[in-house]
Structure 1
Amino acid sequence: MGLENTLLSVTGAVATVTLPGPVLTADVKEGLRDALREAGADPAVRAVVLTGTGKAFCVGQDLAEHAAALRADPGTAFATLEEHYEPIVLALTGMPKPVVAAVNGTCVGAGLGFALACDLRVAAGTARFGTAFTGIGLTCDSGLSASLARAVGTARATELIMLAEPFTAARALEWGLLTAVVEPAELAGRAAELAARLAAGPTLAYAEAKRALAAGWPAVLADERAAQTRLGLSRDHAAAVEAFLAKRRPDFTGS
Structure 2
Amino acid sequence: MAGEPTDLVLSERREGYRVLTLNRPDRLNAFTGAMHEALRAALDDAVADETCRALLLTGAGRGFCAGQDLSERRGGEGRAVDLSQTLDQYYNPLIRRLRDLPMPVVCAVNGVAAGAGANLALACDIVLAARSATFLQAFARLGLVPDAGGTWVLPRLVGRARARGLALLAEPLAAETAEAWGMIWRVHDDAVLMDEAHRLAARLATQPTAGLRLIRDALDASETNDLDRQLDLERDLQGRAGRTPDYREGVAAFLEKRPPRFTGGAS
Q: Deviations over 1:232-255 (max 9, x none)?
A: xxxxxxxxxxxxxxxxxxxxxxxx
| 2:53 pairs with 1:46 | yes
Match of 1:239 in 2: none
Are 2:22 and 2:60, in contact at CA under 8 Å, matched by a contact in 1? yes
For 1:54, give the aligned amino acid. Answer: G
Q: Cα gap change, 1:94/1:71 in structure 2, threshold over 3 Å: closer, same or farther?
A: farther
> Is the partner of 2:147 in helix, strand or coil?
coil
Aligned residues: 216
Query: 2: CA distance between counterparts of 1:104 and 1:160?
Result: 20
What SS class does the counterpart of residue 73 from structure 2 fall into?
Answer: helix
Matched, 1:177 2:180: no
Q: Is the 8 A contact 1:59 1:108 kept in 2?
A: yes
Q: In structure 2, do the counterparts of structure 1 residues 189 and 71 end up closer, same or farther at CA, with 3 Å as the change threshold?
A: farther
Deviates more, 1:99-108 or 1:40-49: 40-49
Contact 2:74 2:81 in 1 (8 A): no
**Which string of whole-angstrom CA distances, capped at 9 and with x for unpartnered residues, describes residues 133-192 of structure 1?**
111011111111111111111111011101111111111111112221111121111001
Which residue of 101, 110, 113 maps to 1:95?
Answer: 101
- Tell me the SS of whatever aligns to 1:24: coil
Aligned letter for 2:22? L
Task: Provide TM-score, normalisation by structure 1.
Answer: 0.79
Match of 1:233 in 2: none
**Residue 202 of structure 2: which of 196, 219, 223 is its match?**
196
For residues 96 and 73 of structure 1, what CA distance do their matches in structure 2 show? Answer: 42
RMSD: 2.0
Question: Distance in 1 between the 2:43 and 2:78 partners?
Answer: 30
- 1:191-219 deviation per Cα after TM superposition (whole angstroms, max 9, x unaligned): 010111111111111111222334599xx
- Counterparts of 2:73 and 2:41, CA distance in 1: 21
1:140-159 alignment, distance < 5 Å: 140-159=146-165
1:118 aligns with 2:124: yes
Of 85, 108, 114, 1:108 maps to: 114
For 2:30, the equivalent position in structure 1 comes to 23
Residue 118 of structure 2 contacts residue 136 of structure 2 at CA under 8 Å; is this kept in 1? yes
Report how far residue 5 of structure 1 moved.
1.9
State the secondary structure of the residue aligned to 1:46.
coil
> Contact 2:9–2:42 at 8 Å: present in 1 too?
yes
Cα deviation code 1:50-91 (max 9, x no counterpart): 0001110001001111114x6696364431211111121122
Residues 108-138 of structure 1 show CA distances to partners (whole Å, capped at 9, x for unaligned) of 1101111110000111111011101111011
Tell me, yes or no, if structure 1 residue 9 matches structure 2 residue 12. yes
* C-alpha distance in 2 between matches for 1:152 and 1:98: 22
Partner of 1:163: 169
Question: 2:65 & 2:15 partners in 1: Cα distance?
Answer: 26
Unaligned 5+ segments in structure 2 are 224-267
**Which of 47, 60, 71 is the aligned partner of 1:64?**
71
C-alpha contact (below 8 Å) 1:47/1:97 kept by paired residues: yes
Cα 1:55–1:75 change in 2 (3 A) is closer
Give the match for residue 215 of structure 2: 209
Of 53-62 and 28-37, more deviation after overlay is shown by: 28-37
* Structure 2 CA distance for partners of 1:71 and 1:15, relative to 1, 3 Å: farther
Secondary structure of 2:187's counterpart equals strand
Q: Which residue of 2 aligns with 1:86?
A: 92
Write the distance in 2 (CA, Å) between the matches of 1:139 and 1:166. 16
Give the greater-gyration-radius structure (CA).
2
Higher alpha-carbon deviation: 203-212 or 2-11: 2-11
Which amino acid counterpart does residue 50 of structure 2 have in structure 1?
P
2:245 alignment partner in structure 1: none
Distance 1:54 1:41 in 2: 28
